[in-house]
Structure 1
């Protein structure tokens, strides 16, 4: 349980995961989808998710260098868990 809570700690983390559950995203896409997050917070949350093994970071070749983020299989397992939390919160 400690690993799970550690992976989701911090404000905004579940919203980043929510967007990644819809598919892989570039950093700029995430910034547009989550405009309330500062660059520092988004970078921190993505690094936290990668370190926890929930997301992976892929650098694409070419110029400019582009980075894509995707959930790992372990990260995709969070989908039903987070949906249950969001449903509970809506009730």
Structure 2
């Protein structure tokens, strides 16, 4: 049985694309990075920006991003505790990648109340893909 991509940290059997995707692997990691690239955010600020993610999943994804060195976590010793998340210098090197994903989405994905649809290069709409789901 092979290890999940997230567990491969030193020896990637595949190509550089697979290695890079292993750091972004997870439903919410790209979105978290997108928001943190705009500046430092507290946990609940991130939660408000991602209403469909559970607290448990957000915590898990943030921990994985921290373990990989892409995000830093700062805990302030106050009551109640204050925790802030920010991009590390290594994480900021992914900015062109995240920006490219955002630009592609702006150009080719139309979000309607009924779901997401891909825009064809000619400007028309392609068949709908799975609707956005909460949770």
TM-score by length of 2: 0.63
Distance 1:61 1:39, change over 3 A: same
Q: Which whole-Å deviations, capped at 9, do the CAs of 1:1-60 have from their partners, x for residues lacking one?
A: 355222200111100001100101100100111111101110011001000000010001
1:42 pairs with one of 58, 73, 87: 58
Q: Secondary structure at the match of 2:74?
A: strand
Match of 1:32 among 48, 55, 59: 48
Higher relative contact order (CA 8 A, sep 6+): 1
RMSD: 1.3
**As a proportion of its length, which structure holds more helix?**
1
Q: After the TM superposition, which of the residue ranges 45-54 and 79-88 deviates more from structure 2?
A: 79-88
Residue in 2 that maps onto 1:15: 31
Corresponding residue of 1:86 = 102
TM-score normalised to structure 1 length: 0.91
State how far apart, in whole Å, the 1-side matches of 2:20 and 2:62 are: 15
Match of 2:75 in 1: 59
Partners in 2 of 1:23 and 1:85 — Cα distance? Answer: 18
Give distance in 2, aligned partners of 1:65 and 1:31: 16
Q: Tell me how far apart the structure 2 counterparts of residues 62 and 44 of structure 1 sit (CA, whole Å).
A: 23
Matched residue count: 91
User: Alignment partner for residue 76 of structure 1, among 60, 83, 92?
Assistant: 92
- Structure 2 stretches of 5 or more lacking a match? 1-15, 109-135
The structure that is strand-richer by fraction is 2
